[in-house]
Amino acid sequence: MSQIGSFTLLLALALSAYSFLAGSLALFQKNRATDRLGETARRAGIATFAAVLLAAVVLVVAAFTNDFSIAYIYHHTNRDLPGPYKFAALWSGQEGSLLFWSLLLASYGLVLRLRHKTDTRLFAYASAIIAGVQVFFLLLLNFAAPPFGVMQGSLPADGTGLNPLLQYPEMVIHPPMLYLGYVGFTVPFAFALGALIMKYPGEKWIHITRRWTMVTWGFLTCGIFLGAHWAYSVLGWGGYWAWDPVENASLLPWLTGTAFLHSVMMQEKRGMLKVWNVWLIFTTFLLSILGTFLTRSGVVNSVHAFAQSSIGNWFLWFMAIVLAACLYFYWKNRSHLASEHKLESLVSRESSFLFNNLLFLVACFAVLWGTLFPILSEWVEGHKITVGPPFFNRVMIPIALLLILLTALGPLLAWRKTSLESIRRNFFWPAVGALAVAVFLMLMPARWGTPFGMKPWQEISSFYALMAIALSALVAFTVISEFVRGGRVIRRHTGRNLFSSMVQLGHRNTRRYGGYIVHFGVIVIVIGLSGAAFNQNKEMEMGFGDRMNIGPYSLVCRSYTQDDNPNYASEWAIIDVSKNGKPLTTMYPERRFYKASEQTSTIVANHSTLQEDLYLVYEGQNQDTGRPVIKVHLNPLVMWIWIGVWIIIVGTILALVPNAPAPVRVAAPVPARESEPEPIGAGN
């Protein structure tokens, strides 16, 4: 089995190297013979997919057939591991996850190569660049981290099992989503670099890559939040984001990718920021590689220690080569990116995108700076320091609040110029609404629970939470007013009802209104995040009948017990919960001991509502009394985060749907009026 796997990986390397070299040669020496060579390169790229897929299938089959002669299978599975986790073993360790990365890249490459007729030459460039990236990963798989390495000595009877933290349903989908995001940025990167090398005329390459970028961004967003949800449900520390370097590594390309999704509109609509956009997507790709380097090199301390190894230097060299190639082609063809920048007014959509990009880039810098500062400090001062949540929260929250404010303002601004009168008219009621929300939250009694009865003058965290919710309300009101205003215009023309008019409005410009729905999802998430300012927790040893109170909840330990199955032994408590004196539910916090890996894992019991999560952790047993120690967290508004993610997914899908044809046409020249007309781009 291992020989088949190793051979297919070697074959995949040869095919991708051919695809890269022959593809490059065909592009730089253009004639009929090299056209045929280019076609063979494309087909070699497609065959690479088949070879990598076969290697991945071999590894999965080896996991299901308990082939412990393969070291990777021995270290990441065992006989009693449930089927889905045996499948997930493919990406549960270093070598397997690199193979999975390579498979996803080959899959993206396959789709791209099959769709080459959209623009044969541009796609040929992109295909050659993707093949180049593929060569790097296959070199790693063949020489630095081979997944089909064979066990030395006698064949073990059973494997050491999968890391228990990874034995959770979401871990079956979190890594694929995240990797689809990371790997996916290779495609817009390849198109951008290809377009630069061939001096591709116009902005069509941006149009072609827009969907790729959006799909990739959607996957990365899902991947990040699935990871957060997994951490919340499995790690049992009561939170979902710890500003761990590996978490930060996923945020970096997300931030620059989000900036890119906004700034490409400047290039599409106004032909501006060509250099900026090209470098933004180069940076996004490099940051996704940097993230992998940080995760695997061990240069920064992380709770994701299982991913560390010695292959970090490979990534460092790869980044250096990619950066050198980007710099070279940019310098060589920089005149192609020349554009005439004109701005008629500071109060315009253009300037809002400039500020948007600045804030995203500053946020990205702050995360990167905080993540790498311990290394810098060690280099300068001779000792490492820790840069953790207190630093990131203090630096990132003000930047995030500015971004939310901009999210509210930006859509109200028209391209080129917006009159202050128009802003005042469109902004007044949303601002009044947001203010009313803030006052309402402060005046209502605290006994109603979070977020009511806020006292922003007492603590900075409370102030930030109130600001976040009020600004989120501002965004929500502006998004709603945009839909209503646009819907009314369509209703006037078509006579339909307002709701149906708004649906038609969304269908006419899916990108814009899909984007607004994404914004709406983001602010729902922000509301959820702001709840963290009011988290509470308590810990107590609970024997039979013992009671613990937190907020409006009362917890009584009915019983505690143990169980055993071939995969793990478990202990859990049975806790009866009542709220304000009324029985509510029974919860079962659990702790498992996985036999093969000899590691423990927490299974959190969580009662989640829109207002708060009652989150119970079985901390362990008091060795003297044998009674369980239960930690309870009361985390307000967490459910909003997961709802927000679903809204973002809906918005992203809507933005990917093709537009319905727009019937609006300018019929005849209209003489200029004395007063300034309404800016159409501002939603009227």
Partner 1 sequence: MLKSVFLKRALQVVLLGAVIFTFLAADQDARFQSIGHQLMCSCGCNQVLLECNHVGCPLSDGMRNELASYIQRGDSDNLVMQAFVQKYGPTVLLAPTTTGFNRLAWIMPFAVLGFGLAGIYFVVRAWRKRAAPLPAGSVPLAQGEELERYSEKVRKETEV
Which residues of the chain form contacts with partner 1 (CB under 8 A)? 235-239, 242, 244, 268-270, 301-303, 340-346, 351, 354-355, 358-359, 361-362, 365-366, 369-370, 373, 377, 380-381, 383-391, 394-395, 399, 414-416, 509, 511-512, 591, 600, 602, 617, 619-620, 631, 662, 664-666, 669, 671-672, 680-681
Name the residue type at position 343.
L
Using alpha carbons only, what angle is made at residue 240 by residues 227 and 434, rounded to the nearest 5 degrees? 115
Name the residue type at position 292.
T
CB of 346 to partner 1, least distance (A): 6
Whose Cβ is closer to partner 1: residue 3's or residue 622's?
622
* Strand partners of residue 467: none
- Say what the alpha-carbon torsion angle 3, 9, 11, 12 is, to the nearest 10 degrees: 160
Task: Find where tokens 């993610």 sit.
Answer: 645
Whose Cβ is closer to partner 1: residue 183's or residue 403's?
403
CB of 397 to partner 1, least distance (A): 12
User: Which is it for strands 612-621 and 568-579: parallel, antiparallel or unpaired?
Assistant: unpaired
Backbone CA torsion sign across 231, 233, 236, 241: positive
Half-sphere exposure of 448 (CA within 13 A, CB side): 10
d(CA 140, CA 16): 13
Smallest CA-to-CA distance from 517 within 644, 363, 662, 353 is with 644
CB of 275 to partner 1, least distance (A): 12
d(CA 464, CA 468): 6
**213 touches 260 (CB < 8 A):** yes
CB of 400 to partner 1, least distance (A): 12
CB of 268 to partner 1, least distance (A): 8
Whose Cβ is closer to partner 1: residue 93's or residue 236's?
236
Whose Cβ is closer to partner 1: residue 106's or residue 654's?
654
CB of 618 to partner 1, least distance (A): 10
CB of 272 to partner 1, least distance (A): 8
CB of 512 to partner 1, least distance (A): 6
Both tokens of 8, joined, read: 């297919």
**541 touches 625 (CB < 8 A):** yes
Whose Cβ is closer to partner 1: residue 32's or residue 383's?
383
Give residues with Cβ within 8 angstroms of 294, minimum separation 6. 245, 246, 248, 249, 300, 302, 371
CB of 216 to partner 1, least distance (A): 23
Whose Cβ is closer to partner 1: residue 578's or residue 600's?
600
Smallest CA-to-CA distance from 105 within 180, 44, 205, 23 is with 180
d(CA 537, CA 543): 19
Whose Cβ is closer to partner 1: residue 22's or residue 208's?
208
CB of 384 to partner 1, least distance (A): 6
Using alpha carbons only, what angle is made at residue 453 by residues 450 and 459, rounded to the nearest 5 degrees? 90
**What is the secondary structure of 168-224 as a DSSP string?**
SHHHHHHHHHHHHHHHHTHHHHHHHHHHHHTT--TTHHHHHHHHHHHHHHHHHHHHH
Helix (H), strand (E) at residue 280: helix 274-297
Using alpha carbons only, what angle is made at residue 134 by residues 130 and 137, rounded to the nearest 5 degrees? 145
Q: Could you give the 3-state DSSP secondary structure of residue 445? A: coil
Both tokens of 227, joined, read: 């990871």
Whose Cβ is closer to partner 1: residue 40's or residue 377's?
377
CB of 415 to partner 1, least distance (A): 5
Whose Cβ is closer to partner 1: residue 199's or residue 394's?
394
**181 touches 216 (CB < 8 A):** yes
DSSP H helical segments within 333-414, as ranges? 349-381, 389-409
CB of 448 to partner 1, least distance (A): 22
Whose Cβ is closer to partner 1: residue 324's or residue 680's?
680
Outline where DSSP puts E strands in 472-567.
Answer: 536-541, 547-550, 553-564
**140 touches 313 (CB < 8 A):** no
d(CA 52, CA 59): 11
Radius of gyration of the chain (CA): 28
CB of 251 to partner 1, least distance (A): 14
Whose Cβ is closer to partner 1: residue 42's or residue 512's?
512
Whose Cβ is closer to partner 1: residue 164's or residue 257's?
164
**Residue 563 φ/ψ, nearest 5 degrees:** -150, 170
Whose Cβ is closer to partner 1: residue 34's or residue 509's?
509
Whose Cβ is closer to partner 1: residue 546's or residue 619's?
619
CB of 644 to partner 1, least distance (A): 24
Smallest CA-to-CA distance from 156 within 69, 59, 81 is with 69
